[in-house]
């Protein structure tokens, strides 16, 4: 038995070198995996596990890297956004110019961008908010109603003292960016002055508006902007809006003319203001308030809003002029939310009663807004809206 044990023990000893030789073989398994995997299922399983572990590790690293990159991008965007806001605050936004294209019948049917970027920053004040108009074009103008309407409201009022007619017309024609009243319950008044010719009253009116920090809109004819450059420039520099009132105020109404003539009435004044004042108009007022549906759509396609009124008095009648006290009383009697007030600067009484009207209206809880075209945006300070300037394109003729 002792011999058997020795033999057995000897056989075991003789196998040790074999085992020692197999150990390095396992270590080299990774360097030559294909041969080992063909003969040893366990080696194949270990190899697959190693590959899977490496893939999982790479996937974890990839996810970590993606997360780090996402955080870095978010940080860059946040910092860039803060920088852009700081740079643009107080300077407004670049204004794009749109030109009207005419179809074979002379109707403006589409708008194209033709503005070139300004090479130099325009002169003049740089204020926080600018108004940019981009209307959706109305197709097929020829199919729209051409019956002329002479705007005016009747005596009926709603519970807020608003003329019933302005609410009715606003509902019908508001889709063409026409404004007869601003639909709001806020006690906001919008002052507008029509400027046909100068009688020495516009300067004092501007003085009062500046003193009371009250914004306004001045609708001007071509002859007015040609002959009264200092006053028009002052309107712009003091933060008021200068609106388009046609070339020469045709008595029969602009809407009675052909589409091409109507477009000319708007475009020529627009381009003159752009070339000579570096100022881009966007508000239009029909001479005498005479309009029709087709004309409203045309003006809309020229990227304008049409501004009518919900208060007016006969301050334009020089043969029987109203006194300052009569005009003041009429203006106070018709106060209502979202009111658009029309005055004519030719009447001296407007300048005489204006300051008292502003003070009294404020005492009754009203404030004076600068029109933005959006009833949800209320601006009550002249300094809050910059002149919309554009040294680039023009409305095409």
Catalytic residue set? 194, 344
Q: What is the C-alpha to C-alpha distance for residues 79 and 108, in angstroms, rounded to an integer?
A: 44
CB 266 within 8 A of CB 301: no
φ/ψ (deg, to 5) at 228? -130, 55
Which residue, chain included where needed, has tokens 């008095």? 313
Helix (H, G, I), strand (E, B) or coil at 239: coil
- The dihedrals phi and psi of 373, each to the nearest 5 degrees, come to 85, -10
Phi, psi of 156 (to 5 degrees): -65, 140
- Compute CA distances 98 → 102, 123, 392, whole Å: 13, 22, 10
- Cα 96 versus chain centre, distance: 11
Q: Which tokens hold the place of 112?
A: 């194209």
Closest to 108 in 3D by CA, of 225, 250, 261, 232:
261
From the list 180, 188, 171, the residue with the least C-alpha distance to 338 is 188
Q: SS3 of 178, please?
A: strand
User: What does DSSP say about strands 217-220 and 188-195: parallel, antiparallel, or unpaired?
Assistant: parallel
Q: Which two tokens stand for residue 236?
A: 């712009």
Identify the burial level of 300 via C-beta atoms within 10 angstroms of its C-beta, where 0-12 means exposed, 13-18 middle and 19 or more buried.
buried
C-beta neighbour count of 308 within 10 angstroms:
23
Element (H, E) at 26: helix 2-27
Quick count: other Cβ atoms within 10 Å of Cβ 87? 9
Contact by Cβ (8 Å): 341, 205: no
């Amino acid at each position: 038995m002792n011999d058997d044990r020795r033999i057995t023990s000897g056989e075991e000893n003789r196998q040790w070198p074999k085992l020692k030789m197999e150990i390095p073989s396992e270590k080299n398994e990774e360097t030559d995996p294909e041969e080992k995997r063909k003969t040893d299922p366990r080696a194949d399983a270990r190899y697959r596990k190693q590959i899977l572990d490496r893939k999982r590790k790479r996937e974890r690293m990839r996810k970590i890297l993606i997360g780090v990159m996402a955080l870095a991008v978010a940080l860059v965007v946040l910092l860039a956004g803060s920088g852009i806001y700081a740079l643009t605050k107080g300077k407004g936004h670049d204004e794009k110019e749109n030109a009207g294209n005419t179809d074979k019948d002379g109707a403006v049917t589409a708008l194209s961008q033709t503005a070139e970027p300004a090479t130099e920053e325009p002169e003049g004040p740089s204020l926080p908010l600018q108004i940019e108009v981009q209307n959706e074009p109305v197709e097929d103008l020829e199919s729209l109603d051409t019956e002329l309407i002479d705007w005016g409201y009747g005596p009926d009022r709603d519970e807020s003292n608003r003329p019933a007619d302005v609410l009715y017309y606003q509902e019908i024609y508001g889709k063409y960016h026409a404004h007869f009243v601003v639909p709001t319950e806020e006690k906001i008044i919008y002052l507008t002055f029509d400027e046909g010719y100068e009688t020495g009253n516009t300067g004092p009116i501007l003085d009062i508006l500046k003193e009371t920090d009250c914004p306004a809109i001045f609708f001007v004819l071509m002859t007015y902007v040609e002959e009264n450059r200092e006053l028009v420039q002052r309107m712009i520099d003091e933060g008021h809006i200068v609106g388009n009132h046609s070339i020469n105020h045709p008595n029969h109404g602009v809407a009675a003319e052909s589409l091409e003539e109507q477009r000319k009435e708007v475009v020529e004044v627009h381009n003159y203001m752009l070339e000579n004042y570096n100022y881009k108009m966007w508000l239009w007022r029909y001479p005498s308030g005479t309009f029709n549906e087709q004309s409203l759509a045309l003006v809309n396609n020229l990227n304008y809003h049409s501004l009518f009124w919900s208060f007016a008095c006969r301050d334009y009648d020089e043969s029987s002029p109203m006194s300052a006290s009569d005009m003041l009383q009429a203006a106070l009697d018709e106060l209502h939310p979202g009111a658009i007030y029309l005055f004519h600067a030719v009447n001296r009484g407007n300048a005489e009663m204006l300051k008292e009207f502003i003070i009294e209206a404020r005492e009754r809880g009203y404030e004076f807004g600068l029109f933005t075209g959006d009833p949800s945006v209320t601006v009550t300070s002249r300094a809050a809206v910059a002149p919309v300037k554009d040294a680039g394109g023009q409305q095409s003729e």
